[in-house]
Each structure stands twice: as structure tokens, then as C-alpha cells.
Amino acid sequence: MLDEKREAGHEARPNPKPRVLPWADCGAQPRASARAPSHAQAPEATRGEALRRRLRDLLSVYVIVNASTPLELVERLLDAGVGTIQLREKELPPPEQAPVAKELQALCQEKGALFVVNDFVDVALDSGADGVHVGQEDEAAASARRRLGPEKIIGVSARTPEEARRATADGADYLGVGPVYTSKTKMVRAPGGPELIARMREATKLPIVGIAGIGPGNAGPVIAAGADGVAVISAVLDAPDPVEVARALLEEVARAKRGRG
């Protein structure tokens, strides 16, 4: 899976002779008129800063993949408008996940999307991923923040106001809240419905992604209740036409956001 490489060749050019500024050897400073305009001196935003500014939009449709998901399909989903990809791989040991994560990170960076690794901070570090998503039983968000630094995006699974407050204090950037509906995957708690989203929205200002059992036709109420996006697995990946379903979800989410005013 995910074994297609991209290589870009560039013709080597001779380095131009360095230009010595007139004040470089005499300790003098340039006059104000010789300086570039102040707006040109502003540092360019880092990738982490740029992702945070767009985070609520990027989370609108959040697709969770594994190592067997074809890279070509991920690319088509990103081209359709999916803003976030998460690698959730429970079968491969972390060292074998890193090459997969590197390919996904490169693709998401090329497409302007967010890429996070589920659970494994080491894989996120080794692959240069944009961030990590951790559950309540995984490495604590505070530990993940210390290891990843301030630039990376950290998502935390939460279901109660207390968990939301702790995640915020630990440096989380967004919350994954669920289960919202009944899901095909193993469920350890009863689904809370859109009402769960509404309760969590009252408890936190962090972006919220609804999780579990969400697909076209039931995503709208999740957004209307206060979520910023929906996380999906089988609704998209098991569909006869995953791209068509992703587009339908994007439209439903956008429509529900407009309806909130």
C-alpha cells in the first residue's frame, strides 16, 4: 500500500557570487530608507500556524484510513475536498507504520490538508506528521505536546466536560467526541447522539469532530448541534464510490454550517 513515490528533479545552477552589503565591514547600519518595507520583514507563517488558522474548515470531513488504503484513493479524496486524513493502524508495529505515514504526510502537505497519526507519537515524530490523535487510554496529551512541541496539531478523544477541560489544559487543538451513532466498529459506550455534541459544545471552545456511525443523511444534525466536522471510516471507504460519498458529506456539512448562521 502507499508505495507510489514522487521524485522531482531540478537542474543544478551555479551559485551566484554573494553580494556584500556596503555596511557589512564597517559596522554601519542601513538608513531607514534603504530597508525593505516592514510588511516584507514579517516572518512567513509556519505550517502549524497555517493549519491552526484553517483547522475548523479542515476538520469538516475527516477520513480515517489504515495501511491497506490505496494512496491513489486518498489522493482522490483530498482532491474532492477532504481536509483531514488520520492513519489508524492497529495491526502493524510502529516502525512499519512510519513509511506509510511519511507518504501520507507528503501527500497531505502537497494538497494543503492535515495529516495526523492515531495513538503513536513515535510514528508522528518519525514521519514528520502534522500531529497526533490520542484517546483517553493512550499517551496523555500533555506528554504528546512536550514531545511534539508547540507546532504540531493534537487531537484528543473526549466525552465529558471534565475530559474536555483536561484536554484543553494539556494543549489539545481539537476534540473527537463520540460515539454519536451506532458504529460497525467496537463500541464500549452507548451512542450519545447529537445531544452529546451539544453538551460538549457548551463545555469547550475547542473545535469538535463527531465520531462513530456518521455518514450522508445523519451528518447534518451533528454539525447543527455544534460540531465543526465529522470523522468517518466505513461510510466512505466501504462505499461503492468513496469520492461521491465524500462530496455528499462535504455538501451536507457545509449546508448545516450555513444553517447555524
pLDDT digits (tens, 9 = 90+) for 32-41: 333 333 434 4
Q: What is the pLDDT of residues 196-248, one digit of tens each?
A: 999 999 999 999 999 999 999 999 999 999 999 999 999 999 999 999 999 99
Q: Which amino acid is at 137?
A: E
Give Cα 6 to chain centroid, integer Å: 22
Instruction: Indicate which CATH number applies to the domain containing 132.
Output: 3.20.20.70
Confidence band for 13, pLDDT divided at 50, 70 and 90: very low
Are the C-beta atoms of 200 and 158 separated by less than 8 Å?
yes
Asked, for residue 134, whether it belongs to a domain, the answer is yes
Within a domain: 119: yes
Which position has the grid cell 477532504? Answer: 82
Q: What is the pLDDT of residues 76-127, one digit of tens each?
A: 999 999 999 999 999 999 999 999 999 999 999 999 999 999 999 999 999 9
- By annotation, the residues acting in catalysis are 88, 157, 186
Q: What's residue 183's pLDDT?
A: 87
pLDDT surpassing 90 at residue 27: no
DSSP letters, the chain, are: -------------PPPPPPPPTTTTT-----GGGSPPHHHHSPPPPHHHHHHHTHHHHTSEEEEE-TTS-HHHHHHHHHHT--EEEE--SSS-HHHHHHHHHHHHHHHHHHT-EEEEES-HHHHHHHT-SEEEE-TTSS-HHHHHHHH-TTSEEEEEE-SHHHHHHHHHTT-SEEEE---S--SS--SS---HHHHHHHHHHH--S-EEEESS--TTTHHHHHHTT-SEEEESHHHHTSSSHHHHHHHHHHHHHHHHHHT-
Number of domains in the chain: 1
> 15 in a domain, yes or no?
no
Residue-range definition of the domain harbouring residue 61: 48-259
Is there a domain that residue 9 lies in? no
Asked whether residue 217 is assigned to any structural domain, the reply reads yes
